[in-house]
Chain A
Amino acid sequence: MDDPLVRISGLRVAFDGVPVLRGVDLAVGSGEAVGLVGESGCGKSVTWLAALGLLPGKAQVTGSVVLDGQELLGAPMPLLDRVRGGQIAMIFQDPASSLNPVHRIGRQVGEALRLHRGMDGAAARAETRRLLDQVGIPDAGNRMEAYPHELSGGQNQRVMIAMALAGRPRLLVADEPTTALDVTIQAQILDLLATLRAETGMALVLISHDLGVVAETCDRVAVMYAGLVIEEVSSARLFDAPAHPYTQGLLSALPPLDGLPRQHLAAIPGSVPEPRALPPGCAFGPRCPRRASLCDEQVPLLVDVAPGQRAACRILGADVPPAFGLAAA
Chain B
Amino acid sequence: MLRFIAGRLLRAALTIVMVVTFAFVVLRLSGDPALLILSVDAPPEAVAAFREAWGLDRPLWVQYFSYFGAILQGDLGQSMRDGRDAIDLVAERIPATLALTLPALALKVGIGIPAGVYAALHRNSATDRVVMVMAVAGFAVPSFVLGLLLVLVFAVQLGWLPSGGQDSWRHAILPVITLGIGGAAVLARFTRSAMLEVLGQPYIRTASAKGVSWRAVVRGHALPNAAIPTVTIVGFMVGSLIAGAVVVESVFSWPGVGRLLVVAVSNRDLAVVQCVLLLVAATMVTSNFIVDLLYGVLDPRLRTARGGGKG
Binding site for B on A (CB under 8 A): 49, 52, 54, 77-78, 81-86, 89-90, 92, 94, 97-103, 111-112, 115-116, 145-147, 149-150, 160, 163-164, 166-167
By a CB distance below 8 angstroms, the chain B residues around A52 are: 209
By a CB distance below 8 angstroms, the chain B residues around A97 are: 201-203
Report whether A89 and B209 are in contact in the complex, using a CB–CB cutoff of 8 Å. yes
Report whether B205 and A54 are in contact in the complex, using a CB–CB cutoff of 8 Å. yes
- Would you give the shortest CB distance from B295 to chain A, in whole angstroms? 11
- A150 and B207 CA atoms in complex are apart in Å by 20
Main secondary structure, interface of B, reads helix
Binding site for A on B (CB under 8 A): 201-203, 205-214, 220-221, 224-225, 298-301, 304, 310
- A99 and B225 CA atoms in complex are apart in Å by 12
By a CB distance below 8 angstroms, the chain A residues around B211 are: 81-86, 112, 115-116, 167
- Would you give the shortest CB distance from B206 to chain A, in whole angstroms? 5
Report whether B301 and A100 are in contact in the complex, using a CB–CB cutoff of 8 Å. no
- Would you give the shortest CB distance from B31 to chain A, in whole angstroms? 52
- Would you give the shortest CB distance from B311 to chain A, in whole angstroms? 10
- A89 and B209 CA atoms in complex are apart in Å by 7
Q: Most A CB atoms within 10 A — which of B206, B208, B210, B300?
A: B210
Name B213's closest neighbour in chain A (CB-CB).
A81
Report whether B304 and A150 are in contact in the complex, using a CB–CB cutoff of 8 Å. yes
**Can you list 25 contacts pairing A with B, beta carbon distance less than 8 Å?**
A52-B209, A54-B209, A81-B212, A81-B213, A83-B211, A84-B209, A84-B210, A85-B210, A86-B211, A90-B209, A92-B206, A92-B209, A94-B202, A97-B202, A99-B206, A100-B206, A100-B207, A102-B299, A111-B207, A115-B211, A115-B212, A145-B310, A149-B304, A163-B210, A164-B210
Report whether A101 and B301 are in contact in the complex, using a CB–CB cutoff of 8 Å. yes
- Would you give the shortest CB distance from A92 to chain B, in whole angstroms? 6
Residue in B203, B208, B300, B310 whose CB lies within 8 Å of A54: B208
- Would you give the shortest CB distance from B310 to chain A, in whole angstroms? 6
- A146 and B210 CA atoms in complex are apart in Å by 20
By a CB distance below 8 angstroms, the chain A residues around B202 are: 92, 94, 97-98
10 additional A-B pairs beyond A81-B212, A147-B310, beta carbons within 8 Å, are A83-B211, A84-B211, A90-B209, A97-B201, A98-B203, A101-B203, A102-B224, A112-B211, A149-B301, A163-B210
By a CB distance below 8 angstroms, the chain B residues around A78 are: 213
